[in-house]
Amino acid sequence: MNDFLSGCGVDLHLDADARDGRRAGLERALRGAVRDGRLAPGARLPATRRLAEELGLARNTVKAAYDQLVAEGYLTARQGSGTRVAPLPAIDAAAPGAAPRARAPRFDLRPGSPDVAAFPAAAWLRALRRAVAAAPSRAYDYGDPRGRVELRQALSAYLGRARGVVAPPERIVVTSGYVQGLALLTRVLDGAAVALEDPGLPFHREVVRRNGARVVPVPVDGRGARADALADASAVVVTPAHQYPTGVTLHPERRRALTDWARARGGLVVEDDYDGEFRYDRQPVGALQGMAPDRVAYLGTASKTLGPGLRLGWMVLPPHLVDAVADAKLHSDHHTETIGQLALAELIDSHAYDRHVRACRLRYRRRRDQLLERLGGRRGVRGVAAGLHALVEVADERDVLARAEAEGLAVGSLGEHWHAPGACRTGDGGAGGADRPQGIVVGYGTPGEGAYPEALRVLASVLEGD
């Protein structure tokens, strides 16, 4: 007896073996569907009459099967609400064999995420309505791997005026975010040695490795990435606007040195415009790409300005890389989803995107100022001129992290960002650790407005013991 539940909003394949009787076979099939999650807790089952008709069974057979599963606790039956899958039983975390549950932090000051509660839902809905109303029918078909021309044109104008990027639409490739852009470029570089900042995000190093390149570290100091340490690399990935995690802005001399290296070596600079829109103490620094458009691949996203859930990013590429990256994109996921692209293009063209970014800049500057005020002028707070995080130097990183965890406070660890594992965190001198600062990376984008002041109070309390 193989059939589907397709009535009353339920569509579920059942493989009911009737060798031991039709009722027993139906019971086993339903029980198995609940156990393996195909029937989720709260899911409504068809009425007995409808299911009996679809499966070719007597109604009393179906009713008896339901009654048995209700008695076993798999289903619930209430007058007026029908028969539903019962809620899953609570698992006692202390029971033998139970998986330990990770305790969610009371206060989340980890870096890397914006305040998603500030997403401009009303403006996005207006842009979405206008974009869908104006979209040609072919917008819903397979598209250009480089992205919708409407968004590439909007980005061309926006990046030129807001970030100083030389961005002809034909040199823009739309992606699902920075990680995809980095992966595509690494694949096109085909086994090259790629330099990544040290310290830097470990996940990005892993993306480069998994796409076939050899990772080499490039040291970061108070002026940013050191171009004199690129002898073995043919490409380098940098965050000039606000280095992660140190918060350093790439010094003008280093910017020139990097572009000179790229021209002389025939190398590629990959510019991650991390936090480029969020500078607080003076005007944002223009993109490095504007100094050498033929040697710099510029990568940006809407993840920090709007939200990572949109999965929208972009690359502005040197001419010689456009076709190769577009081909890699085609064979990666064919093309990025279309409707979000059209909505973002409308948001940019109507200047609602600019207004939202300005509002976010004011909000994050207030949060930055609250952080500095709460820490009371503490020495060793770095990287606060821009972005959504600060680096707070500490004497004993491991001890501070342990006390923060005990207080339910989540922050980032500087130690995990070095290319040499644990060099900073232990402070034991291994892998150069004795010469490296220890610190915690504090983000101020994630907490809600109501929770942020209390999170800062707990942070200050944790740091008092350092």
Same domain flag for 18 and 75:
yes
Cβ atoms within 10 Å of 390's Cβ, excluding its own:
24
pLDDT of 339 higher than 90: yes
Same domain flag for 20 and 149:
no
Q: Please, are residues 156 and 146 in contact by the beta-carbon 8 Å criterion?
A: no
Same domain flag for 376 and 334:
no
Q: Is the pLDDT higher at 9 or at 417?
A: 417
Q: What is the mean pLDDT of residues 112-135?
A: 95
The pLDDT tens digits for 268-284 are 999 999 888 999 987 77
Q: What is residue 205's predicted lDDT score, i.e. its pLDDT?
A: 97
Read off the pLDDT band of 3 (50, 70, 90).
low
- Within a domain: 125: yes
Rounded CA-CA distance 267/261 in Å is: 7
Question: Cα dist. 462→112, 404, 454, 456, 459 in Å?
Answer: 21, 6, 12, 10, 5
Q: What is residue 447's predicted lDDT score, i.e. its pLDDT?
A: 81
- Within a domain: 346: yes
Q: Which of 354, 369, 404 is the last residue of a domain?
A: 354
- Within a domain: 126: yes
Rounded CA-CA distance 105/301 in Å is: 28
Question: Cα dist. 229→98, 186, 225, 248 in Å?
Answer: 50, 20, 9, 18
pLDDT of 457 higher than 70: yes
For position 323, which CATH number holds?
A: 3.40.640.10
- Within a domain: 96: no
Same domain flag for 225 and 312:
yes
Q: What is residue 73's predicted lDDT score, i.e. its pLDDT?
A: 84
Read off the pLDDT band of 63 (50, 70, 90).
very high
Same domain flag for 283 and 390:
no
pLDDT of 289 higher than 60: yes
pLDDT of 99 higher than 60: no
Q: Is the pLDDT higher at 340 or at 44?
A: 340
pLDDT of 426 higher than 60: no
- Within a domain: 100: no
Q: Where are the beta strands (DSSP E) in 138-234?
A: 172-175, 193-198, 214-221, 224-225
Q: Is the pLDDT higher at 53 or at 351?
A: 351
Query: How many structural domains compose the chain?
Result: 3
- Range of 330's domain? 117-354
Q: Is the pLDDT higher at 224 or at 429?
A: 224
Q: What is residue 8's predicted lDDT score, i.e. its pLDDT?
A: 47
Q: What is residue 422's predicted lDDT score, i.e. its pLDDT?
A: 56
For position 442, which CATH number holds?
A: 3.90.1150.10
Same domain flag for 213 and 175:
yes
- Within a domain: 434: yes
H or E stretch at 409: strand 409-410
Rounded CA-CA distance 243/414 in Å is: 13
* Greatest mean pLDDT range, 24-38, 43-57, 344-358: 344-358
- Within a domain: 375: yes
Q: What is the mean pLDDT of residues 153-172?
A: 97
Read off the pLDDT band of 364 (50, 70, 90).
very high
For position 80, which CATH number holds?
A: 1.10.10.10
Same domain flag for 299 and 375:
no
Same domain flag for 179 and 319:
yes
Rounded CA-CA distance 350/66 in Å is: 57
Q: What is residue 106's predicted lDDT score, i.e. its pLDDT?
A: 86
Average pLDDT of the chain to the nearest whole number = 88
Read off the pLDDT band of 376 (50, 70, 90).
confident
Read off the pLDDT band of 451 (50, 70, 90).
confident
> Residue 137: exposed, middle, or buried by beta-carbon count in 10 A (0-12, 13-18, 19+)?
exposed
Same domain flag for 189 and 267:
yes
Same domain flag for 348 and 366:
no
The pLDDT tens digits for 165-195 are 999 999 999 999 999 999 999 999 998 999 9
Same domain flag for 129 and 80:
no
Q: What is the mean pLDDT of residues 148-161?
A: 97
The pLDDT tens digits for 379-415 are 789 999 999 999 999 999 999 999 999 999 999 999 9
Read off the pLDDT band of 244 (50, 70, 90).
very high
Q: What is residue 202's predicted lDDT score, i.e. its pLDDT?
A: 95
Q: Which of 296, 327, 354 is the last residue of a domain?
A: 354
Q: What is residue 370's predicted lDDT score, i.e. its pLDDT?
A: 94
- Within a domain: 109: no
Read off the pLDDT band of 103 (50, 70, 90).
low
Same domain flag for 341 and 388:
no
Q: What is the mean pLDDT of residues 117-137?
A: 96
Q: What is the mean pLDDT of residues 201-226?
A: 96
What is the DSSP-derived secondary structure letter of residue 421?
A: T
Q: Which of 293, 322, 354 is the last residue of a domain?
A: 354
pLDDT of 47 higher than 60: yes
Q: What is residue 51's predicted lDDT score, i.e. its pLDDT?
A: 86
